[in-house]
């Protein structure tokens, strides 16, 4: 028994001295075809998805922060007023924007002229039962195109009625120059002050039945003339001589002239510049007109880039497909357009 255990112990000792392999070759090593990291395809895909998401988020954020009026639907929704028409931005001739003061007369087949006709129709329908139609055109701030619109609206009404255009902006008058009147032409201030007659202050536009009363001599305080009884008497007298009166007034947010004139008007047309006028500022100005007793007939969205609006918002595409493509000309010249009556 002892010898058996001794023999087993020696065998165990011998086995422990033998070296047994601790590893074996499973497969031969080959270099990889591409690096394990970085995974370019995966990173590119993630970057593309992340870029699209961040771009869309930035676009939505910019749109949210942009408080201007970009489309007619935008204007109706934010201002809660009907849009009478949308006027396109005019093309550039060289380095300067083409003058649009007489587009209706000189380019009757253009998109701009058709938009003016749309405004004229809306105005006529709004005041169809009223014997005297006195239209006040104003805006929030300067540079929104109210004077240009007033001139073209007057020219449009000249095709169907006997209109009068009055410049009540005696602080920054521009109509006399736009209508090619003589320097120092008599106008509204002279008529209200009683220093000139109606015949001296009313000027006729050649090739049209439109009559024009410019601002006249710039008074030291235009508001005093506008709140006087003499101004009311002048407006009453002119309303008996003309079928439609278009009044170009100063911007609402700068002075209170428009608020003083608004009660004399049948309705107020409010002009806003597309992608420029903040809707809160326009709403504030409209409310001021309403509080003064004026009735808003509608809003005119001016200087809208139709191509850009169609590209981003899918609107106004019909203008380029309904006989108006290429309707603009880069030539807007003209001879002297007005003369003293």
Q: What is the CATH number of the domain that holds 310?
A: 3.40.50.300
Higher pLDDT, 309 or 167: 167
CB-based contacts of 284, cutoff 8 Å, min separation 6: 140, 253
> Comparing 57-71, 176-190, 203-217, which segment has the lowest mean pLDDT?
57-71
Phi, psi of 271 (to 5 degrees): -100, 130
Q: Is residue 6 part of a domain?
A: no
The tally of domains found in the chain comes to 1
**Which value, in Å, is the radius of gyration of the alpha carbons in the chain?**
37
Q: Are 279 and 308 in contact (CB under 8 A)?
A: no
Q: Is residue 95 part of a domain?
A: yes
Mean pLDDT of the residues in the chain: 83
Q: Is residue 335 part of a domain?
A: yes
Cα separation, 236 vs 250, in Å, equals: 21
Q: Is residue 189 part of a domain?
A: yes
Q: What is the average pLDDT across 46-56?
A: 83
- Partners of 88 in the beta sheet? 304
**Residue 255 domain boundaries:** 69-340
Count of residues in the chain: 341
- CA atoms within 13 A of residue 148's CA, in its CB half-sphere: 24
Q: Is residue 96 part of a domain?
A: yes
pLDDT at residue 92, as a whole number? 58
Q: Are 285 and 253 in contact (CB under 8 A)?
A: yes
Higher pLDDT, 47 or 14: 47
pLDDT at residue 91, as a whole number? 67
Cα separation, 47 vs 75, in Å, equals: 38
pLDDT at residue 21, as a whole number? 59
Q: Name the percent of the chain lying above pLDDT 90.
A: 56
Which of the four pLDDT bands, split at 50, 70 and 90, describes residue 241?
very high
The model's pTM is 0.76
Tens-place pLDDT, residues 90-104: 765 544 444 568 889
Q: Are 102 and 180 in contact (CB under 8 A)?
A: no
Q: What is the average pLDDT across 299-327?
A: 64
Q: Is residue 60 part of a domain?
A: no
Neighbours of 182 (CB within 10 A): 12
pLDDT at 308 over 90: no
Higher pLDDT, 231 or 317: 231
Tens-place pLDDT, residues 195-238: 999 999 999 988 899 999 999 999 999 999 999 999 999 999 99
Q: Is residue 161 part of a domain?
A: yes
Q: Is residue 28 part of a domain?
A: no
Alpha helices in the chain (DSSP H): 2-17, 40-65, 72-79, 103-106, 111-126, 146-157, 175-178, 188-193, 198-201, 222-226, 229-241, 257-261, 279-291, 306-313
Out of 49-53, 59-63, 86-90, 171-175, give the one with best mean pLDDT: 171-175
Token code pair at residue 46: 């993630």
């Amino acid at each position: 028994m002892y010898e058996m255990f001794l023999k087993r112990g020696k065998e165990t000792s011998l086995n422990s001295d033998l070296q047994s392999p601790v590893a074996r070759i499973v497969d031969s090593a080959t270099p990889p075809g591409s690096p394990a990291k970085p995974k370019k395809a995966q990173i590119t895909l993630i970057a593309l998805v992340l870029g699209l998401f961040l771009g869309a988020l930035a676009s939505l954020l910019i749109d949210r922060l942009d408080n201007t009026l970009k489309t007619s639907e935008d204007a109706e929704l934010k201002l809660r007023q009907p849009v009478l028409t949308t006027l396109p931005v005019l093309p550039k001739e060289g380095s300067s924007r083409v003058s649009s003061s007489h587009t209706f007369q000189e380019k009757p087949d253009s998109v701009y002229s058709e938009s003016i006709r749309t405004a004229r129709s809306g105005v006529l329908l709004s005041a169809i039962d009223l014997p005297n139609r006195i239209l006040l055109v104003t805006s929030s701030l300067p540079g929104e195109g109210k004077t240009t619109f007033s001139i073209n609206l007057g020219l449009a009404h000249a095709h169907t009625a006997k209109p009068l255009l009055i410049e009540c902006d005696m602080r920054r008058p521009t109509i006399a120059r736009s209508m090619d009147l003589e320097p120092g032409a008599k106008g509204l201030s002279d008529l209200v002050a009683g220093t000139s007659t109606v015949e001296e202050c009313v000027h006729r536009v050649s090739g049209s039945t439109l009559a024009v009363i410019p601002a006249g001599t710039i008074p030291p305080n235009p508001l005093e003339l506008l709140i006087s009884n003499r101004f009311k008497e002048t407006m009453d007298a002119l309303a008996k001589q003309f079928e439609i009166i278009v009044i170009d007034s100063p911007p609402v947010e700068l002075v209170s002239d428009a608020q003083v004139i608004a009660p004399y008007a049948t309705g107020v047309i409010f002009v806003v510049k597309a992608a420029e006028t903040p809707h809160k500022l326009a709403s504030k100005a409209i409310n001021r007109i309403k509080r003064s007793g004026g009735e808003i007939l509608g809003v005119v969205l001016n200087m809208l880039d139709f191509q850009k609006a169609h590209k981003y918002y899918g609107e106004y595409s019909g203008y380029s497909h309904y006989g108006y493509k290429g309707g603009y000309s880069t030539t807007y010249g003209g001879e002297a357009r007005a003369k003293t009556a």
